[in-house]
């Protein structure tokens, strides 16, 4: 095949991939809308549709991830366009795995996860370019795959933990009478927020350490107080506070849920907000390739 023919093939594949990504985003959006009706009506059938819809969407999304990997000939988490898609996929897949462990018909957290995944996909499609660029020199490191995969696995776990926390606060604490329609109180359900954070915390720690080790290899400096680094440390510290409050009986009830939600907010800032912050305040970031 000539170079020109190969480029035409790439253009064709990219157009197909875009159609697939839009379909995935729309499906996440539909799951979110069904979840909204579920919230308004409390009909369990709608809840089951949300979970079923997410299973179908994540299957299609898996295809998209494989498609992009083959198309680019490299892992599909280099640009923000790709990492947003990867984030949505890993969050949904983690949710569905955790959901399969629950007893009873709790589907509400799926509505939150669907909203977050739809938001990530639409943000990617509407603001970023799908262009497949080869791996730049800064990312050519053995740390690259480990650092990104584990960081996003931690993020996915925190998304699900956030969804569990919000569901618990809404239907097991704030409006328990409304909760019955949504399968609450569900035995052992709330335990999952803590268990998920216990699982995500060492992964986030690995992401921070591997980032530092990578920075030491690339720049000779393991820590530069770069906004991305600092926010990852903030997120780690907030989850460390969460785990400590879990061991303080008088703080367990109120401080822990607040810190879990704050941890999620910090995670979003680490992932997306830092780039906005750096742009807004004109702070140079060494992680510019992640924008």
Partner 1 sequence: MPSDFSSKLRKTSSSLKTSVWLLAAMCVFFILGTIFPQGTELKDYMEAGGKFVPFVKWFNLLGIFTSPLFLILSGLLSVNLLVCIYDRWRAMKKRPAYIPEGQFFMNPKVVEMAAPEDALLLRAKEMRFKEKYSAEGIHVLEKGLPFRWLSWIYHLGIVVAILGFLSTALFAFEEEITLYKGKPVKISLYSPDTRWNKFKKALGMSPPEEKKEKEYEAALLAFETEYTEALKVDYPKEPLTRLALGLGFRPLMGEGKPEVSYSPKMWLSRISLKTPREKAVKGALWVNRPYRFRGLTLYQMGFEQDITLLVDGKPLKIKSMEPFEIKGMEGKFITGMAKTGKVYKKDGMVEKFTPFFELKHTGKDGRKKELGKLVQGKPERFLGKRFLFKGMEEASGLSYRIDPGVTFISISVWLLFAGLLLRSLGYWGRIQIVVKEGKTYALLSTRGLLANGEKIMAKLKGE
Residues at the interface with partner 1 (CB under 8 A):
1-4, 6-8, 10-11, 14-15, 18-19, 21-22, 125-126, 129-138, 140-141, 195, 198-199, 201-202, 205-206, 209, 212-214, 216-223, 225, 227, 230-231, 233-234, 237-238, 240-241, 244-245, 247-248, 251, 255, 274, 277, 281-284
Closest approach of Cβ 109 to partner 1, in Å?
19
Residue 20 in contact with residue 76, Cβ under 8 Å?
A: no
Helices (H), 128-226: 143-168, 176-179, 191-219
| Of residues 181 and 243, the one with the C-beta less far from partner 1 | 243
**DSSP category for residue 74:** S
Which DSSP letter does residue 134 get?
P
Chain center to CA of 209: 20
Question: Residue 179 Cβ, how far from partner 1 at the closest point, in Å?
Answer: 23
Give the nearer residue to partner 1 in terms of CB position, either 15 or 41.
Answer: 15
> Is 172 buried (19+), middle (13-18) or exposed (0-12) by CB count in 10 A?
middle
Report the distance separating Cα 233 and Cα 217, nearest Å.
20
Closer to partner 1 by Cβ: residue 40 or 136:
136
Give min distance, CB of 185 to partner 1, in A. Answer: 17
Name the residue nearer to partner 1 (CB basis): 182 or 246.
246
Q: Is 226 helix (H, G, I), strand (E, B) or coil?
A: coil
Q: How far is the CB of 73 from partner 1 (least distance, A)?
A: 10
Closer residue to partner 1 (CB): 65 or 238: 238
| Nearest distance in Å: CB 131, partner 1 | 4
**CB of 158 or CB of 214, closer to partner 1:** 214
Q: Minimum CB separation from partner 1 for residue 251, in Å? A: 7
Q: What b-and-e string marks burial along 226-244, b requiring 16 or more CB atoms within 10 Å of the CB?
A: bbbbebbbbbbebbebbee
Q: Return phi, psi of residue 132, to 5°.
A: -95, 110
The single-letter DSSP state of residue 45 is: H
Coil, strand or helix at 239: helix
């Amino acid at each position: 095949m000539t170079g020109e023919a190969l480029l035409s093939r790439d253009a064709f594949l990219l157009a197909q991939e875009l159609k697939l990504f839009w379909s995935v985003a729309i499906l996440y959006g539909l799951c979110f809308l069904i979840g909204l009706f579920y919230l308004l009506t409390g009909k369990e059938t709608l809840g089951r549709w949300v979970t079923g819809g997410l299973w179908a969407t994540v299957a299609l999304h898996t295809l998209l991830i494989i498609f992009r990997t083959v198309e680019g000939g490299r892992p599909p988490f280099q640009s923000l366009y790709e990492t947003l898609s990867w984030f949505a996929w890993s969050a949904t897949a983690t949710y569905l795995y955790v959901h399969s462990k629950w007893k009873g018909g709790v589907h509400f957290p799926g509505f939150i996860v669907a909203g977050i995944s739809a938001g990530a996909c639409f943000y990617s499609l509407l603001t970023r370019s799908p262009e497949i660029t080869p791996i730049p020199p800064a990312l050519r490191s053995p740390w690259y795959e480990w650092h990104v995969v584990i960081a996003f696995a931690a993020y996915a776990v925190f998304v699900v933990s956030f969804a569990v926390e919000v569901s618990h606060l809404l239907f097991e604490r704030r409006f328990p009478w409304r909760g019955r329609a949504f399968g609450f109180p569900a035995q052992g359900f709330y335990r999952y927020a803590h268990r998920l954070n216990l699982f995500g915390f060492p992964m986030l720690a690995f992401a921070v350490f591997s980032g530092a080790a990578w920075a030491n290899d690339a720049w000779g400096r393991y820590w530069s107080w770069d906004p991305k680094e600092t926010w990852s440390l903030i997120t780690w510290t907030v989850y460390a506070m969460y785990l400590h409050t879990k061991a303080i009986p008088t703080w367990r009830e109120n401080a822990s849920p607040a810190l879990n939600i704050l941890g999620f907010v910090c995670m979003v800032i680490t992932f997306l907000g830092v780039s906005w912050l750096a742009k807004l305040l004109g702070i140079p970031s060494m992680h510019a390739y992640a924008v």
